[in-house]
Homo-oligomer: A and B are copies of this chain.
Amino acid sequence: MKPQVEIDLLIEFGAFFKEYEIGETIFCEDDLARFYYQIVEGGVKMININEDGKEYIQGYFCEGQSFGEPPLIIEEKYPATAVALKKTKIIKISKINFFSLLEQFPVIQSDFLKLLARRIYNKANTSKDIINQKPEFRIIAFLDTCKTRQEKEQIKYTRQEIANFTGLRVETVIRALSKMKQKKKVEIINHKIYY
């Protein structure tokens, strides 16, 4: 996947690399944003954990994608925690260097404008789907955002992950999925979900 910003350009702006093990925290909720982060290899999830220990997944990020930019841009604290999903290599540059990068390359600034616009668009859609709807609707909405192609494809998320995305419990997801199987809204073969 094409990186958000070219690696070589980031290096010119004083970038450095860092490796994270699976499950390792990259930054924490309420930390002040100090760096621009971009994934070179691996994957990252942004999560909130409430006082009952329940996890809510704000989003997944993969190779080439940047994350945690909004708080950096407005000089705020992170609203969520970033955790490596597997062994992950990150490239990062300091806030000040990120700002001069944006200033010197209007095209890149414009790319970020589009990126943030798309993020808001997605968040508006997911929050509308999640807030009012029944479990089945929430899951369908989530599956729709997963889909990369038109044809039926296998969903690569566990039921627990679907639960954490939709704000439901695992058991509820499982029961909703079996109902959806009966209604032919999804196929389930050997525990794998096809949609």
A→B interface (CB under 8 Å):
48, 50, 52, 54, 56, 58, 69-74, 76, 79-80, 102, 106, 109-110, 112-114, 116-121, 123-128, 130-133, 167
Contact = CB atoms under 8 A, between A and B. Distances in A.
A80 B114 contact: no
B121 A76 contact: yes
Given A73-B113, A113-B112, A117-B70, A127 B123 contact: yes
Nearest to A133: B50
The 7 closest A-B pairs by CB, nearest first: A73-B117, A131-B167, A116-B116, A70-B117, A48-B128, A79-B124, A70-B120
Q: How many identical chains are in the complex?
A: 2
A121 B33 CA distance: 12
Given A120-B123, A121-B74, A56 B128 contact: yes
A71 B131 contact: no
B74 A128 contact: no
A170 B47 CA distance: 30
A171 to B, nearest CB: 16
B80 A121 contact: no
A131 B133 contact: no
A114 B76 CA distance: 11
Contact of A58 (B54, B117, B119, B127): B127
